Amino acid sequence: MRNRLIIATISLLALAGCSPGSLGSSDEDGKLTLTFLVDNSAESLKPAEALAAGFTAKNPDITVDVESRPQGSEGDNIIKTRLATGDMTDVFQYNSGSLFQALAPGQNLAPVTDQAFAGDLDENFKATVSADGQLYGVPFNASMGGAILYNRKVYAQLGLTVPKTWAEFMSNNAQLKAANIAPVIQTYQDTWTSQLFVLADFHNVSAAEPAFAADYTANKTKYATSPAALKGFTHLQEVHDAGYLNSDFASAKMVDGLAQLASGKGAHYPILTSVVTSLAADHADTIGDIGLFALPGDDAAKNGLTVWASAGVYIPKSTEGAKRDAARQFLAYIASPEGCAAFAQAGPPSGPYMVKGCTLPADTPQAIKDMQPYIDAPGGSSLALEFLSPIKGPALEQITVEVGSGIRPAADGAALYDQDVKKQAQQLGLPGW
Amino acid sequence: MVTRSPYPHWFYLPAAVVYGVLFVVPTVTSFWFSLTRWTVFDSTFVGLDNFVTFFREPALVKGLTNTLIYGVVTSGLKVVLGMLLAVLLTSQIAARGWLRSVVFFPVLVSTIGIGLTFTVLMDPVDGLINQSLAVWGISGPAWLTDPSWALLSVALVDVWKGVGLATLIYIAGIVSIPAEYFEAARVDGAGAFARFRSITLPLARPATATVIILSLIGGLRSFDLIWAMTRGGPGFTSDVIASVIYKQYQAGFYGLSTAGNVVLFVLVTAIVLPLSRILNRREVEL
């Protein structure tokens, strides 16, 4: 009787011990299930489902289960906690660049440097998912641009031309305002959308000060003291002070901004091109009217596009044995023209793909096609600062909302952001801070 | 003379284990982690650096003043409105039981649900509140997006949600006042206002103390409603200490946010402990 009790207790404990980690393991007939964690936005879920379906069609023995997590900083914490407790899915999607560096890749991720597909990746992308000389990820979907989406129909009606300098942009704005069209759309209920005047201006910053990214990481230059970098903040204040914003800028959300742009009630919307997917889905009849130009700076000759690298797909160290092999196969599929085709099937790309041999489909929206000339021109584009430096302050979106709403002057906002960045640099243990 | 308990001391053990594992250990470790730079993956000891950084946090000064404003405004309004409602609801009025439930009802609803609902109602253009005001020719403020209104708007919603509990406490306090006092006062010719001022108000003081302390603690550490409605925005204008701490946690500054929690703990204790002493001492003197 006593022995039976002990056996019962031990088997109970054993049962309890093998909970989440072993879910989705291989079953008897040699079939394997990979779990794949992506963020819960439509722009990520749809492509992830398409990848899973395409991969299983090619490898009938491996099924991919897509799981979702919240976006933004809440999602960051879920990723970090699951990695720290060894409870991560078999493969997962996450940002490249500075956020990727914060995952302590050497400690938590399995490198894929020696895999055949490593040679097929875009060099810029490889730099954003590498740490200590090891490569850790493949690109999830296309790259994107941070730029101004504009209504081409409105431009044609008023006879405006695409501006290359800030002065030209402001004179376009004056004419738009006179025609009773909101010149610049801002949507501060989705706070992240307020950062584009600063972040997407980075090509202009690095054109004026080529060493900015390195100096910035080494604490030798700051937003408040670099004349080129400060421009992003002053521009944001200028459009507010001149009364160029849509009247509901403080209460509008990103979807409202897209609707205003598509209907021609607003003319310019500085935003990331990832929104073109929702624009194409919700405003299919007017998507052809929407074009794109890079944020104008001081020098027309040096004007160019700021590009965001794709997010990455990574394998955590906790994925072992047969599953790690299957996971590598899955990554190889993502980093192939077939993978790009699966992405394209899920929705229009937000920019060029970062895998060699992938091309844009013929029905790509005009706004995305407008990116190509910048990317083809030598020196016409650069990666955003968050891919060249591991530091990005978490409070930028609140600061840009304040500057863009006239609550805080530009210079003050830039100085505040420099303080915010310091915490991030210290947390990462960078030298010089 | 110590009386021996008939039960052995190890009867305490199960409770002590639960209390220790779920409360004492996390509290002590949090004091330790507040002294480190902590990335979840590893931690480095940095002494009091986190506290220095936390106090230099630009949003903190704003957050501190906002916390105090929020705590005092919500607590004050709950005391005044709760008292008035309780007097009304203990008098002989029609549908008293139904009205009592109506006043208490918002307390039962989820805070996040209330926050999201009021965010829609308070939309400056399409919201029901401003559209109703427009019918009367009043153009309402941009409740949640105007920096000078945002905090106050959230505080008003907090009062709407929490006044039911204050009323309930006051009703209990007023009902427990012996009816003879009111009768005697009435015989002496005291009017309704005099009865309220000289009998209800002083004799309901224990209820007032409870309401002040509960609502002040609630107001000082309030977070969920503010986060659901403004996320501390626009910019930093409606940030309170708790939302400043949460943002540090979101950004991955785990050591820093733990230090912030220690500060909040000390602050709430420093305000509430003496306050509760003062209020309770007066109660004894009565």
| Domain coordinates in residue numbering, chain B | 69-239
Whether the ω angle into residue B234 lies within 30 degrees of 0, i.e. cis, is: yes
What total number of domains does chain A contain?
2
CB proximity list for A328: less than 8 A, separation 6 or greater: A112, A115, A315
Domain shared by A107 and A239, yes or no: no
Could you tell me if A201 lies within 8 Å of chain B, comparing CB atoms?
no
Q: Which domain holds residue A50?
A: 22-143+309-346
Could you tell me if A101 lies within 8 Å of chain B, comparing CB atoms?
no
Domain shared by A296 and A408, yes or no: yes
Does A12 or B46 have the greater pLDDT score?
B46
Tokens of A53: 């379906």
Best probe of the A interface among B130, B131, B145, by most A CBs < 10 A, is B145
Q: Would you say residue A151 lies in a domain? A: yes
Cβ contact A407–B237 (<8 Å): yes
Lowest-confidence region among A178-187, A420-429, B51-60, B111-120:
B51-60
Distance separating alpha carbons of residues A330 and A39, to the nearest angstrom? 18
Predicted TM-score (pTM) of this structure: 0.81
Position B192 confidence tier, pLDDT thresholds 50, 70, 90: confident
Domain shared by A325 and A217, yes or no: no
Domain shared by A138 and A148, yes or no: no
What pLDDT is recorded for position A19? 40
Best probe of the B interface among A188, A245, A251, A253, by most B CBs < 10 A, is A251
Domain shared by A248 and A262, yes or no: yes
Could you tell me if A191 lies within 8 Å of chain B, comparing CB atoms?
yes
The three-class DSSP label of residue A297 is strand
Q: Would you say residue A313 lies in a domain? A: yes
- In 3-state terms, chain A is what percent helix, strand and coil (to 5)? 50, 15, 35
Cβ contact A398–B236 (<8 Å): yes
Distance separating alpha carbons of residues A217 and A432, to the nearest angstrom? 9
Tokens of B51: 């506290």
| β-sheet bridge partners, residue A65 | A35
Domain shared by A138 and A149, yes or no: no
Chain A residues with CB inside 8 Å of B40's CB?
80-81, 84
Distance separating alpha carbons of residues A269 and A258, to the nearest angstrom? 8
Task: Measure Cα distances from B32 to A88, A127, A378, B2, B25 in Å.
Answer: 27, 37, 53, 38, 11
Domain shared by A203 and A250, yes or no: yes
Domain shared by A178 and A211, yes or no: yes
Domain shared by A403 and A296, yes or no: yes
Domain shared by A127 and A219, yes or no: no
Distance separating alpha carbons of residues A267 and A245, to the nearest angstrom? 10
pLDDT in tens, chain A (433 residues): 455 544 444 444 444 444 444 444 445 567 899 999 999 988 899 999 999 999 999 999 999 999 999 987 788 889 999 999 999 999 999 999 888 988 889 999 999 999 999 998 988 899 899 998 999 999 999 999 999 999 999 999 999 999 999 999 999 999 999 999 999 999 999 999 999 999 999 999 999 999 999 999 999 999 999 999 999 999 999 999 999 999 999 989 999 999 999 999 999 999 999 899 889 889 999 999 999 999 999 999 999 999 999 999 999 999 999 999 999 999 999 999 999 999 998 888 899 898 988 888 888 999 999 998 898 888 888 999 999 988 888 889 999 999 999 999 999 999 999 988 988 888 888 888 8
Could you tell me if B29 lies within 8 Å of chain A, comparing CB atoms?
no
Cβ contact A81–B125 (<8 Å): no
- From A418, which residue of chain B is nearest by alpha-carbon distance? B58
Lowest-confidence region among A264-278, B165-179, B255-269:
B255-269
CB proximity list for A109: less than 8 A, separation 6 or greater: A103, A136, A137, A314, A315, A316, A317
Could you tell me if B144 lies within 8 Å of chain A, comparing CB atoms?
yes
Domain shared by A119 and A194, yes or no: no
Q: Considering chain B, what percentage of its residues have pLDDT values greater than 90?
A: 39
Could you tell me if A70 lies within 8 Å of chain B, comparing CB atoms?
no
Q: What is the pLDDT of residues B131-156, one digit of tens each?
A: 999 998 888 888 888 888 999 999 99
B270 CB neighbour count, 10 Å cutoff: 10
Domain shared by A164 and A281, yes or no: yes
What pLDDT is recorded for position A23? 44
Chain B residues with CB inside 8 Å of A317's CB?
none
Nearest to A426 by CA among A389, A391, A388, A396: A391
- Tell me the ipTM for this assembly: 0.78
Q: Would you say residue A351 lies in a domain? A: no
Tokens of B159: 């009062």
* CATH value at residue A223: 3.40.190.10
Task: Measure Cα distances from B6 to B2, B13, B109 in Å.
Answer: 12, 16, 45
Could you tell me if B123 lies within 8 Å of chain A, comparing CB atoms?
yes
Assigned CATH for B69-239 = 1.10.3720.10
The three-class DSSP label of residue B227 is helix
Chain A residues with CB inside 8 Å of B148's CB?
none
Give the strand pairing for A290-293 and A144-151: antiparallel
